[in-house]
Chains A and B, each alone.
Chain A
Amino acid sequence: MTKFFSFSVLIPLLFFALPNFHGGLHIGDKAPDFSLKSINGNYVSLEDFEDAKGYIVTFTCNHCPYAVFYEDRLVDLHNKYAPMGYPVIAINPNDPDIQPGDSYDDMIVRAGEKAFPFVYLFDSEQKVYPQYGATKTPHVYLLDKDKIVRYIGAIDDNAREPEEVTERYVENAIAAIEAGKNPDPATTKAIGCSIKVKK
C-alpha cells in the first residue's frame, strides 16, 4: 500500500517536473551565472559587471545569416545601453566541429572585423545555453540587476530589413524595466539557426 501510494504520487510529479527541467528559463526565473572564455582570453561572469542594472545576454554566432543580420544592431544596442548599465553579453553556443565558422578562432576574427564593443564568449562545453533554454541564434535573454529574466526573444520585429523595424523589443523591454514595469511583450519569436550540438 505504501509502495503503491508513493509511486502514484511520484510518477505524476515527475511528469510535471520534467518539462520545466528541460525548458530552460522562463520569465521571472533567476538566471544562473557562468564563467566563459572571452575572445580576449579571460573568463567572464555576470558578476564581473559590478554596476550593471541588467544584462542583454545574447546567444549568437558567426555563421548564421540571422545572427549576421543583427551584428550591427547588437553593436548599437551595446553602445547605447552599456553606459546606462545594460551591457550586451554575446555567447556563441555552437559546436565548431558541427558548424564550421563558429570556432573560438573564428569568433576572434569576426569580432575584430566588426569591432564588437561587447564581450563575446564561447560556451565551449555547451553547458550554459541548455540552462537558459536557448534553441537558436540569435536568442536574447534580458535580465534585470537581480538576474531575473524579464524578456526572452528577438532583438526587434524585423531581422532582414532593419529599416522596416516597427518594434524594438529589447529597447522597449529595457524602458519598461527602467520604468518599474513588466516588459510587454515579455516573449517574442523569430526565425534563427538551430544551435549546433556536439554529437
Chain B
Amino acid sequence: MKYKQLIIAVIMILIQLNLIGQEWKVDDVVVYEKFDDLEEIFYQNNDTIQLINFWATWCGPCVKELPYIEELHEKEFNFPLKITLVSLDFAKKIDTKLIPFLNKKEIKSEVVLLNDSKTNQWIDKVDPSWSGSIPIIVIYKGDQRFFFEQEFHSTQELVEIIQKIK
C-alpha cells in the first residue's frame, strides 16, 4: 500500500517536472481547421488584455518580432495579459518545423495553428483593414481595440500600446 502511494507520488513529481520544463509537444498546439472556431478569441469580454499575433516560422519579420512579444510576459500591467500566437505554419510541418522552433525559442505564450486556407473568407473578420500580410498584432480589452499590420522592433513599443488600455 505504501509503495503504491510512493509510486504515485513519484509519477506526480515527474509530471510536474516535465511541466516545469515546458517542452513543447505536437499535442500542445491546437489546430483550427476553420477560422470560425477560433474567432471567439477576438471577442473575450473580461478584465484581461488580449494580444493576438498572426505569424509563421517561414515569415522572417515575424520570427524577428517574436522575442519582443515574449518579453511582455516579464512586464507588469494594470490588467492580466493573455498572449495567443496564431501560427499560419503548414499543418503537415507541425512536428518538423513548428514544435522544434517553439522549443528552440523557449516560447511561453499559448500557440494555436490556423489551417483554414479559405483566407478571403476570414481575413476581414480579423480586421477589415488587414491586407493579408503577416505579421499582424491585435491588442484589445472589451471594446478597446488596436490593430497593427506591421513588424514591431522593440518590446517598449508594445508596452506603450498596452498601457493605453484602461
Using a CB–CB distance below 8 Å, which chain A residues touch chain B?
65, 99, 135-136, 139, 153-154, 157-161, 164, 185, 188-196
Using a CB–CB distance below 8 Å, which chain B residues touch chain A?
58-61, 88, 90, 117-120, 123-124, 130-135, 149, 151
Q: Which residue of B lies closest to A68 (CB)?
A: B58
Closest approach, in angstroms, between the C-beta of B89 and any C-beta of chain A?
A: 10
In angstroms, Cα B118 to Cα A158, docked, is: 6
Closest approach, in angstroms, between the C-beta of A70 and any C-beta of chain B?
A: 13
Residue pair B134, A190 in contact (C-beta under 8 Å): no
**Beyond A160-B117, A191-B88, 16 additional pairs, beta carbon < 8 A:** A99-B60, A135-B149, A154-B119, A164-B117, A185-B120, A188-B120, A189-B119, A189-B123, A189-B130, A190-B123, A193-B59, A193-B133, A194-B61, A194-B151, A195-B133, A196-B60
In angstroms, Cα B132 to Cα A188, docked, is: 10
Residue pair A157, B133 in contact (C-beta under 8 Å): no
18 sampled A-B residue pairs with Cβ under 8 A = A135-B132, A135-B149, A136-B132, A154-B120, A157-B120, A159-B117, A161-B117, A185-B120, A189-B120, A189-B131, A189-B132, A190-B123, A191-B123, A191-B134, A192-B134, A194-B61, A194-B135, A194-B149
In angstroms, Cα B47 to Cα A62, docked, is: 44
Closest approach, in angstroms, between the C-beta of B151 and any C-beta of chain A?
A: 7
Q: Which residue of A lies closest to B92 (CB)?
A: A160
In angstroms, Cα B117 to Cα A164, docked, is: 9
In angstroms, Cα B133 to Cα A65, docked, is: 12
In angstroms, Cα B132 to Cα A159, docked, is: 12
In angstroms, Cα B134 to Cα A181, docked, is: 33
Query: In the assembled complex, which residues on chain B have CB atoms less than 8 Å from the CB atom of A195?
Result: 133
Residue pair A192, B133 in contact (C-beta under 8 Å): yes
In angstroms, Cα B59 to Cα A159, docked, is: 16
Query: In the assembled complex, which residues on chain B have CB atoms less than 8 Å from the CB atom of A158?
Result: 117-118
Closest approach, in angstroms, between the C-beta of B54 and any C-beta of chain A?
A: 8
In angstroms, Cα B149 to Cα A195, docked, is: 12
Query: In the assembled complex, which residues on chain B have CB atoms less than 8 Å from the CB atom of A191?
Result: 88, 119, 123, 132-134
Residue pair A159, B133 in contact (C-beta under 8 Å): no
In angstroms, Cα B130 to Cα A157, docked, is: 17
Query: In the assembled complex, which residues on chain B have CB atoms less than 8 Å from the CB atom of A157?
Result: 118-120
Q: Which residue of A lies closest to B90 (CB)?
A: A160
With A157-B118, A161-B117, A194-B151 in contact, do A135 and B133 touch (Cβ < 8 Å)? yes
Residue pair B131, A135 in contact (C-beta under 8 Å): yes
Q: Which residue of B lies closest to A165 (CB)?
A: B117
Residue pair A136, B131 in contact (C-beta under 8 Å): yes
